[in-house]
């Protein structure tokens, strides 16, 4: 049996920062290998890591195109093994080097965290992006404003201020991060209710009711587009869009668990109480 305890974004942030401990975080990246991760690259079978696109180098999870003669729209995603519904995911990333040959112009210093996504097994072989909510990670080009942790919506829509948003991408209010500097992006996901983007500790975008709908995805099974279906629990993946990027940390704070103070594993910061997880 489960029931919700929904908090405002501000309250949740304060509760999480004050009550959570480093040991509460699940580390998705162990610094050595890709244990727990599955690649899906456009044009290839699930699990086939074409050209060693995703690899561990110098203790970092790297998205790499050294073996690509040209990008050829081989968009890729690296999926974590488990699905989650209520959580905060945090990554520390930076863009490096040059874009793969013939990568699309819009993909320069561009990557993303995909949340509320479909499974890699349900993707078509030629599908470009999973039906998901994309937290778009952008790096500065040295001159223009390019905000980070924007929203993009392959096969999805969201609600902002009571209005259904069908535009493919919505800019955040973040700073622009030029050069190869490390940036910390966090995404707080509260099931089908609310998603909040944070960059270097500052909230930069928030919206509600993530749901299936719209376009901006190709090669997929069209029967999976069930207009208006609210997204509750789904996959998390990291993106490959033609520009090299490194992740030195990828971790998740599960916000679903036991909120009974009498239980041994009680956590005060949780956003969803799941009695089945309580230990007495």
Q: What percent of the chain has pLDDT over 90?
A: 89
Asked if residue 271 belongs to a domain, the reply is no
**What's the confidence (pLDDT) of residue 2?**
37
Q: Find the CATH number of the domain harbouring 63.
A: 2.60.120.560
pLDDT range class, residue 67, cuts 50, 70, 90 = very high
Q: For residue 199, what is the enclosing H or E element?
A: strand 194-199
Band the pLDDT of 159: cuts 50, 70, 90.
Answer: very high
Rounded to an integer, what distance in angstroms lies between the CA atom of residue 105 and that of residue 198?
Answer: 26
Whether the predicted pLDDT of 18 surpasses 60: no
| Residue 82, in any domain of the structure | yes
Stretch 73-98: mean pLDDT: 98
Mean pLDDT of the chain: 93
Residue 176 structural domain:
25-257
For 38, residues 6+ apart whose C-beta sits below 8 A from its C-beta are: 46, 47, 78, 79, 81, 120
Contacting residues for 173 by C-beta, under 8 A, at least 6 apart:
147, 204, 205
**Residue 276 φ then ψ, to 5°:** -65, -15
- The predicted pLDDT at position 166 comes to 95
For the residues 119-144, what does the mean pLDDT come to? 97
Model confidence band, residue 224 (pLDDT cutoffs 50, 70, 90): confident
Query: What domain count does the chain have?
Result: 1
* Residue 161 reports pLDDT greater than 90: yes
**Distance, CA of 238 to CA of 240 (rounded, Å):** 7
Identify which has the larger pLDDT, 225 or 188. Answer: 188
User: What is the sign of the dihedral through the CA atoms of 113, 235, 263 and 22?
Assistant: negative
pLDDT at 15 over 90: no
**Is residue 161 a part of any domain in this protein?**
yes
Query: Residues with Cβ < 8 Å from 238, sequence gap 6 or more?
Result: 54, 61, 63, 77, 78, 91, 111, 112, 113, 114, 247, 250
Using alpha carbons only, give the angle 104, 109, 114 rounded to the nearest 5 degrees: 90
Residue 233 has pLDDT above 60, yes or no: yes
Q: Which two tokens stand for residue 260?
A: 């009974």
Separation of alpha carbons 63 and 10, rounded Å: 33
The reply to whether 220 falls in a domain is yes
Residue 19 lies in a domain: no
Q: The pTM is what?
A: 0.93
Domain presence at residue 50 = yes
User: Per-residue pLDDT averaged across 268-275, rounded?
Assistant: 95
Domain assignment present for 274: no
Burial of 179 (0-12, 13-18, 19+ CB in 10 A): exposed
Considering the domain boundaries, does residue 9 fall inside one? Answer: no
Residue 9: per-residue pLDDT: 47
**pLDDT above 50 for 4:** no
């Amino acid at each position: 049996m489960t029931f919700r305890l929904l908090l405002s974004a501000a309250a949740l942030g304060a509760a999480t920062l004050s009550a959570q401990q480093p040991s509460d975080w699940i580390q998705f990246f162990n610094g050595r290998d890709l244990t727990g991760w599955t690649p899906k690259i456009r044009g290839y079978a699930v699990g086939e890591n074409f050209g060693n696109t995703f690899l561990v180098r110098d203790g970092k999870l790297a998205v790499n195109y050294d073996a690509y003669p040209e990008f050829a729209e081989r968009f890729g995603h690296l999926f974590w093994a488990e699905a989650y519904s209520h959580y905060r995911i945090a990554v520390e990333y930076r863009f490096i080097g040059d874009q793969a040959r013939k990568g699309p112009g819009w993909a320069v210093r561009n990557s993303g965290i995909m949340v509320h996504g479909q499974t890699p097994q349900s993707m078509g072989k030629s599908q470009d992006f999973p039906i998901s909510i994309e937290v778009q990670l952008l790096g500065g080009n040295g001159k223009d404003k390019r905000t980070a942790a924007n929203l993009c919506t392959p096969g999805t829509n969201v609600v902002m201020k009571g209005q259904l948003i069908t535009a493919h991408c919505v800019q955040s209010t973040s700073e622009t991060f030029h050069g190869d500097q490390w940036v910390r992006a966090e995404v707080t996901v509260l099931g089908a209710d609310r998603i909040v983007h944070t960059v270097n500790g500052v909230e930069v975008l928030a919206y509600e009711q993530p749901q299936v709908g719209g376009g901006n995805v190709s090669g997929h099974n069209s029967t999976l587009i069930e207009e208006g279906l609210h997204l509750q629990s789904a996959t998390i993946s990291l993106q490959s869009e033609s520009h090299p990027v490194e992740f030195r940390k990828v971790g998740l704070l599960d916000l679903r668990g036991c909120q009974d103070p009498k239980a041994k594993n009680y956590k005060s910061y949780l956003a969803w109480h799941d009695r089945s997880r309580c230990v007495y």
